[in-house]
Structure 1
Amino acid sequence: MNAYIFPGQGAQFSGMGLDLYENSPEAQHLFEDANAILGFNITDTMFEGTAEALKETKVTQPAIFLHSVILAKTLGENFKPDMVAGHSLGEFSALVANGALTFEDGLRLVSKRAIAMQKACELQPSTMAAVLGLEDKLVEDICTKTEGIVVAANYNCPGQLVISGEIEAINRACEAMKEAGARRALVLPVGGAFHSPMMEPAREELAAAIENTTFSKPNCPIYQNVTASAVINETEIKTNLISQLTAPVRWTQSVQQMITDGATLFTEVGPGKVLQGLVKKINREAQTAAASIETKA
């Protein structure tokens, strides 16, 4: 069975999407539509902007979404997913890919999500940290015992978790992780505490937008971050998508469940190769590939 997976924030690079624009009339049309929907020429930043310009939240999330979704659309008849999943932001790309969301509605939601998250970050300073070389349970226990807000946010692969919360709490937790034997506990250069209770203002704002958006019955299951299980019901998809901002990304569990349910090939659609690497760390036997415009029908 073919599983298609879609990357999240951090996969952006200068020049992203330009090959699609130059080689596919359909891609060109979709990029122009995106400029109109967003109210600014995101293509200028994607194709010619600096890495710094691409880091701006209102640009980063729509840019990765556009690269992923437009690439999927250029694959034509070669794009036949039996199941999909996306890492954090990538869940929106996956929902367009499996027909639950239209391109236009997906882009509008991603743009609102980015702006809402940015606002939440500005309300209270917060951050995230990568923890390498500890068991999940130990990381969770240390977070629970640490004073202040700090939670496990991204279960990326065995031995690689990201924690999220208040700056001081994250610093205290990192020291405790190192004392417990972590290979590394490193604060990340991010704007705030994503996938933590500190994103509650953004969750509330995004919830209203999601509730007012029409979702269709998808053509294949999505394995959502919140549940790490196959979901096909539109109402359930909406509920999980709203919960996603304050809940952890259960990527390890999602990939394991997809393999249990019959996934034999994981194809990453979008910028970078991060998810292919994570899949291999989760299960060495899993086959991975990168989608490319060359494979379009």
Structure 2
Amino acid sequence: MKAYVFPGQGAQYVGMGKDVYENNPMAKELFEKANEILGFRITDLMFEGTDEDLKQTKVTQPAIFLHSVILAKTLGHDFKPEMVAGHSLGEFSALVAAGALSFEDGLKLVSQRAMAMQKACEIKPSTMAAIVGLDDATVEDVCGAIEDVVVPANYNCPGQLVISGTFEGIDKACELLKEKGAKRALKLPVGGAFHSPLMEPARTELAEAINNTQFNIPVCPIYQNVDAKPQTDPENIKANLISQLTAPVKWTQTVQNMIADGGDHFTEIGPGKVLQGLIKKVDRKMVTEGISQLQ
């Protein structure tokens, strides 16, 4: 079965999407529509901006979303997903690609999500750290024993878990996890504690926007971050999307479930190759490929 997966924040690079914009009239039209919806020329920042420009959450999230979704649309009849999933922000790309959300509504929600997350980060300065070389249970136990807010945020693949929390909580957890034998406990250059209780102000704000948006039945099941299970019911999809901001991304479990349900060919659409690498770490036998440029 053909599975399509969509990357999240961190995959951005200067120049992303430029070839698609310049060589496909439909893509150019969609990019220009995006500039109108957002109220600024995101294409200028994507194609000729600086790394610093692209690192701003309000730019990063719509930029990755646009690159992924517009590439999927350029595939036309060749895009026949039997299952889809997206990592964090990538879940919105997956929903638009699978027809559960319109392009316009998807972009508006991504933009609102980015702004809401930015605000939540300013309310309580916080961060994330990647923990490599420990089993999930050990990381969960250490986080659970710390008084500050620190929680598992991204279950990326076996032996790689990202934690999220206050600066104090993350520092304590990194120290304890190294003592437990972590190969690496590395703080990440992110703006805040995504997928943690510290994102509650953003979740509340986004919930209203999601509940006021029209969702349709997707053309195939979408495996969502919150429960790693296939969903097609628009109400379930909405509820999971709202919970996603404060809940961990169960990517390891998502890939395992997609494979168990017959997924054997994974195509990552959008910038970077991160998800292909993670899928291989879940199961080396999987066929993976990436589409990051016009085919």
Please state whether the residue corresponding to 1:117 is helix, strand or coil: helix
- Structure 1 distance, partners of 2:21, 2:285, is 35
1:11-55 Cα offsets, whole Å, 9 max, x none, are 000000001001100100000000000000000000100111111
- Alpha carbons 1:83, 1:220 under 8 Å: kept: yes
Please state whether the residue corresponding to 1:267 is helix, strand or coil: strand
**Aligned partner of 1:205: which letter?**
E
- Alpha carbons 1:5, 1:275 under 8 Å: kept: yes
Kindly state the Cα deviation for residue 291 of structure 1 after the two structures are TM-superposed. 2.0
1:58-83 Cα offsets, whole Å, 9 max, x none, are 10000000000000000111110000
The alignment-based identity, stated in percent, is 71
Please state whether the residue corresponding to 1:208 is helix, strand or coil: helix
- Alpha carbons 1:75, 1:293 under 8 Å: kept: no
Distance 1:294 1:200, change over 3 A: closer
- Structure 1 distance, partners of 2:95, 2:225, is 12
Q: Matches of residues 21-36 of structure 1 in structure 2 within 5 Å?
A: 21-36=21-36
- Alpha carbons 1:74, 1:293 under 8 Å: kept: no
Please state whether the residue corresponding to 1:220 is helix, strand or coil: coil
Kindly state the Cα deviation for residue 111 of structure 1 after the two structures are TM-superposed. 0.1
Kindly state the Cα deviation for residue 292 of structure 1 after the two structures are TM-superposed. 5.0
TM-score for the superposition, normalised by structure 2: 0.99
Distance 1:293 1:12, change over 3 A: closer
- Structure 2 distance, partners of 1:254, 1:283, is 12
Q: Which residue number corresponds to residue 167 of structure 2?
A: 167
Kindly state the Cα deviation for residue 147 of structure 1 after the two structures are TM-superposed. 1.9
- Structure 2 distance, partners of 1:85, 1:294, is 21
Unpaired segments ≥5 residues, structure 2: none
- Alpha carbons 1:7, 1:268 under 8 Å: kept: yes
- Alpha carbons 2:272, 2:292 under 8 Å: kept: no
- Alpha carbons 2:4, 2:81 under 8 Å: kept: yes
**Aligned partner of 1:25: which letter?**
P
Mean CA deviation greater in 143-152 or 234-243: 143-152
**Aligned partner of 2:263: which letter?**
A
Kindly state the Cα deviation for residue 146 of structure 1 after the two structures are TM-superposed. 1.2
Alignment pair present for 1:263 and 2:263: yes
Please state whether the residue corresponding to 1:72 is helix, strand or coil: helix
Number of residue-to-residue matches in the alignment: 295
Please state whether the residue corresponding to 1:258 is helix, strand or coil: helix
Alignment pair present for 1:134 and 2:129: no
- Structure 2 distance, partners of 1:111, 1:292, is 22
- Structure 1 distance, partners of 2:249, 2:183, is 22
Alignment pair present for 1:64 and 2:64: yes
Distance 1:292 1:60, change over 3 A: closer
Please state whether the residue corresponding to 1:162 is helix, strand or coil: strand
Distance 1:206 1:294, change over 3 A: closer
**Aligned partner of 2:91: which letter?**
E
Distance 1:132 1:292, change over 3 A: closer
Please state whether the residue corresponding to 1:262 is helix, strand or coil: coil
Distance 1:293 1:171, change over 3 A: closer
- Structure 2 distance, partners of 1:278, 1:51, is 24
TM-score for the superposition, normalised by structure 1: 0.98
1:206-247 Cα offsets, whole Å, 9 max, x none, are 000000000011110000000101000000000000000000
Q: Which residue number corresponds to residue 210 of structure 1?
A: 210
Please state whether the residue corresponding to 1:16 is helix, strand or coil: coil
- Alpha carbons 1:153, 1:195 under 8 Å: kept: yes
- The two structures, once aligned, show a CA RMSD in angstroms of 0.7
Distance 1:197 1:292, change over 3 A: closer
Distance 1:100 1:286, change over 3 A: same
Q: Matches of residues 144-183 of structure 1 in structure 2 within 5 Å?
A: 144-183=144-183
Unpaired segments ≥5 residues, structure 1: none
**Aligned partner of 1:67: which letter?**
H
- Alpha carbons 2:140, 2:152 under 8 Å: kept: yes
Q: Matches of residues 116-131 of structure 1 in structure 2 within 5 Å?
A: 116-131=116-131
**Aligned partner of 2:148: which letter?**
G
- Structure 2 distance, partners of 1:55, 1:188, is 13
